[in-house]
Structure 1
């Protein structure tokens, strides 16, 4: 009876052994052949083993009742007065890996992937934009202020000169009064022109930006100006996909979840500043790509 075990050997050798032995487990072959066939099989194993390893155990007439052979470089069969033992070979010569062209190509490809991953995590230029309005209706409500913050921290803020009475609840929410708009506000067209110059051609980041863009695009058209054509990155759907168990998806709730402080909520530039910080965190966590 013989037992042959194979590790990491070519499929052709495995198929060859099944002509003489039964594979009772992956890589373990058992058979009952003559000594001549056994030796021929072992020769075939040694010839076709490639970079794999093999061990042969067989019955023989000695004190142990069996003998064994192996191709493993870390093991050596030692005969001590007719008794066979396995000696662990130490200080064996090691082969330095990574010198072949294939290995060098794999190493270079891996390094390129790491560089690409690092580049994806490093934010490119973008600007966060936020507005405050007198209400939610694009047909009747007006923009009160526009805030924008670039990824490098540069800020833009304008109050819009409007001849309106700001609703009391909006004053309480934003702190913007009709008197402030009259004294500190700039004409709507001037503010939009400055915003266009400020954002340039980099992506615009916003939170629930469909609301903001609806008002901005309306007023760009009202002023006879071209709408912003920048790439838009709305963080609301991004956060909803990632954070499925928040109580709600109001900006303040999301900021709190990510450990971002917004000291003056419902102030356009403060909200834009916080949105910029949220975008930076999402980029760092590989959730957002810009």
Structure 2
């Protein structure tokens, strides 16, 4: 939670990109520690003559802590408990600007800096998410099997074929290019693939397109190998696209990628679909349609 008083309107507008203003000057949001620190840096840079206080979750006895720019307050640590100390300070004169030309120059400089900070925040977001896609022998989670798993981060990719004890249907082979022979020769046991996938993902939030299909198969897979399921935050991009692009002919991944001019060289190949989905997520982040 962030509270602002007497700050420039431009700063208030910036914060609404990441937080919701529930009352004048009071902002709430759910962001990562990196984004939180980035927002505080932006506040410190653009606050002008105003004041700001931020409260956020942390590992202490209270479960939260806070920091402030107020000159009449100071945050102190009392045996691990944060307290707000009231200070006695003399009144300070308000610092005024100079000529209109100087103010215009300052506005241009600040606008440039805001763009730089926005780019940095977008970079942090795009590097703090992983996309996911799987291929299966069919649509029925109770009887069909995973045959390929793909996941992508900004600068790395995970791809694994899975050995299957069933014959891959011809229509699936035609769609994915995977056959029972290929899986037998190049695939690994499901346990190996799922353990490696969990290591690749770590604690990052996951994005996918119609990802609940993938989530259901993975959940069953982890249960089959008697391992804990993924506990990461999972975000489905399909509802986001339906909300922001209401006039598409359809919402198949191929159509959406074409609309966003994203190349997918090998459709229905798990790693290629995952890379394309990650690029889609990054574009949505840049357009401020997606907040992870």
Same fold (TM over 0.5): yes
Count of residues in correspondence between the two structures: 192
**Structure 1 residue 279 corresponds to structure 2 residue 281:** yes
For 2:207 and 2:146, the matched residues in 1 are separated by: 18
- Greater shift, 122-131 or 267-276, is seen at 122-131
Query: CA shift at 1:98, angstroms?
Result: 11
From 229, 232, 235, the counterpart of 1:230: 232
Query: CA shift at 1:124, angstroms?
Result: 3.6
Instruction: Describe the SS at the equivalent of 1:190.
Output: helix
From 138, 142, 149, the counterpart of 2:141: 138
For 1:111 and 1:167, the matched residues in 2 are separated by: 56
Query: CA shift at 1:164, angstroms?
Result: 1.0
Deviations for 1:124-150, whole angstroms, at most 9, x for unmatched residues?
Answer: 421111000011111111001001111
Deviations for 1:190-233, whole angstroms, at most 9, x for unmatched residues?
Answer: 00000000011111111000000000011101111011111112
From 144, 150, 159, the counterpart of 2:153: 150
Deviations for 1:146-197, whole angstroms, at most 9, x for unmatched residues?
Answer: 0111122x11111101111101111111111001111111000000000000
Query: CA shift at 1:96, angstroms?
Result: 2.6
What is the correspondence of 1:2-13 to structure 2 with a 5 Å cutoff? none
- Could you tell me which residue of structure 1 aligns to residue 217 of structure 2? 215
Query: CA shift at 1:114, angstroms?
Result: 6.0
Greater Rg by CA: 1
For 2:257 and 2:144, the matched residues in 1 are separated by: 27
Asked if the contact 1:144–1:181 (Cα under 8 Å) also holds between the matched residues in 2, the reply is yes
Backbone CA RMSD of aligned residues: 2.7
For 1:139 and 1:95, the matched residues in 2 are separated by: 72
- Could you tell me which residue of structure 2 aligns to residue 261 of structure 1? 263
- Could you tell me which residue of structure 1 aligns to residue 122 of structure 2? 121
For 1:117 and 1:191, the matched residues in 2 are separated by: 37
Distance 1:256 1:165, change over 3 A: same
For 2:98 and 2:136, the matched residues in 1 are separated by: 71
For 1:266 and 1:255, the matched residues in 2 are separated by: 13
Asked if the contact 1:121–1:286 (Cα under 8 Å) also holds between the matched residues in 2, the reply is no
Instruction: Describe the SS at the equivalent of 2:285.
Output: helix
Query: CA shift at 1:275, angstroms?
Result: 0.5
TM-score when scaled to structure 2?
Answer: 0.60
